[in-house]
């Protein structure tokens, strides 16, 4: 059965959907992967439609758009047929988000390295704790080094939360690739952004063994 990663964050603008797509494309280089869009905004579904006609898109990535009572049954089918299933969750801790977190082997929470994003993650962290699921934070759009970032790292460590050691920088390549229905590992396989995503994926996979 495949591993399930629920990508969740209540705060808008955290890059949740983009990160789901980027991680899925990087994983499909060496595994069979499915993504589930359960966010009513449907941005991942739109990305998937663009991907269907993108010449550089690698094969082997399945996309499903579901919600409500169908979520559990569809997830079981995807788990049976894929090595990894990534779920783009709603930006609220509603019933669908709870179902996704409950089914997850790991909850991935993207946030910009700033206090409001960590505050906004509280609901997701609480939900993961209630469902007894491991949660990992990942910095997105992060500066290489800043006083605020170091302060956030210290606060996260002091609270006993887990922060992925690989952060994603604020690179235009991510948004440009997403706009074309691609991941950066496809749009620019030798770029810094691609190396960054592969490193983040490797770190995440190591935590799920």
Nearest to 83, CA basis, from 19, 200, 1 = 1
Using one digit for the tens of pLDDT, what is the confidence trace for 109-155?
Answer: 999 999 999 999 999 999 999 999 999 999 999 988 789 999 999 99
pLDDT tens by residue, 7-20: 998 877 778 999 99
Instruction: Locate 79 and state its tokens.
Output: 């788990």
Q: Indicate the domain borders of the chain.
A: 3-207
Structure confidence by residue, pLDDT tens digits, 86-113: 999 988 777 888 899 999 999 999 999 9
SS3 39: coil
Question: pTM here?
Answer: 0.94
Fold annotation for 3-207: Rossmann fold (3.40.50)
CA distance 58 to 28: 8
What secondary structure does DSSP assign to 102-130, as a single string?
Answer: HH-SEEEEEE-SSHHHHHHTHHHHHHHHH
| 33-59 CB burial, b ≥16 within 10 A, e <16 | bbbbbbbeeebbbebbeebeeeeebee
Q: Residue 22 corresponds to which tokens in the numbers above?
A: 């980027």
Compute the distance between CA of residue 38 and CA of residue 141 in angstroms, rounded to an integer. 24
pLDDT digits (tens, 9 = 90+) for 185-195: 999 999 999 99
């Amino acid at each position: 059965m495949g591993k399930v990663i629920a990508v969740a964050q209540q705060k808008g603008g955290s890059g949740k959907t983009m990160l789901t797509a980027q991680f899925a494309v990087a994983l499909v280089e060496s595994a069979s992967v499915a993504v589930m869009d359960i966010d009513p905004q449907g941005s991942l579904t739109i990305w998937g439609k663009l991907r269907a006609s993108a010449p550089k898109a690698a094969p082997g990535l399945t996309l499903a758009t579901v919600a409500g009572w169908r979520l559990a049954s569809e997830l079981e089918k995807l788990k049976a047929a894929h090595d990894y299933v990534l779920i783009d969750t709603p930006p609220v801790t509603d019933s669908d988000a709870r179902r996704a977190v409950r089914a997850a082997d790991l909850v991935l929470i993207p946030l910009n390295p700033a206090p409001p994003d960590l505050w906004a993650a509280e609901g997701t962290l609480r939900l993961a704790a209630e469902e007894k699921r491991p949660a990992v934070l990942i910095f997105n759009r992060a500066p290489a080094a800043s006083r605020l970032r170091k302060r956030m790292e210290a606060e996260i460590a002091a609270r006993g939360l887990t922060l992925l050691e690989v952060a994603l920088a604020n690179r235009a390549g991510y948004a440009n690739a997403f706009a074309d229905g691609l991941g950066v590992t496809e749009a620019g396989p030798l770029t810094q952004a691609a190396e960054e995503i592969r490193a983040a994926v490797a770190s995440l996979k190591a935590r799920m063994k």
